[in-house]
Amino acid sequence: IIAFEPHSIYSMRLAKKGQLLTHHKDRSILTLMSMDTVIEKYEEYLHAEMDLGDLVKTISSSRRDVFPVVDHQHRLVGILYLDNVRPIMFRQELYHRFKIAELMSEPVARLSINDSMDVVLITFDKTNAWTLPVVDGEGIFMGFVRKSHVLTNYRKTLADFSDE
């Protein structure tokens, strides 16, 4: 009787050491992560009726490069990327000419506060985005998730998981 082993000798050695990453282990790690561990809460909000001058005041005291644009109920209406306004943001003569509504863009996707990490990673892959907004069931802005933060958290969780 000939027995077949589904894994190579190399894979078997890694498995015995607990270093073999399988699809199941990958999914297990993702289930250990939650939106709470990767979301960035924001104190700075922009409103569509604000102008470029208001934006410059906001960013002068911030270290962020992306800002949520919300209505007065804090529902997300758009996103403003600093890179998109950099060419005009130092031209004071334009401070009252442009409204945030003209400078913001529609997010390529919105994550739900209840999304699993599987959904988060799939959404990042589909959109090629590096930063995505998170909203609740009513569209209220909850924060942003950065792909780099998710991947860093994944690596940390993986390391913790492998140590067990």
56-70 pLDDT per residue, tens: 999 988 889 999 999
User: Under a CB-based contact definition with an 8 Å cutoff, are residues 139 and 113 in contact?
Assistant: no
Mean pLDDT, 10 residues at a time, the chain of 164 residues: 53 49 61 88 94 93 93 97 92 94 96 94 95 97 95 84 63
pLDDT of residue 107: 96
pLDDT of residue 21: 47
pTM comes to 0.79
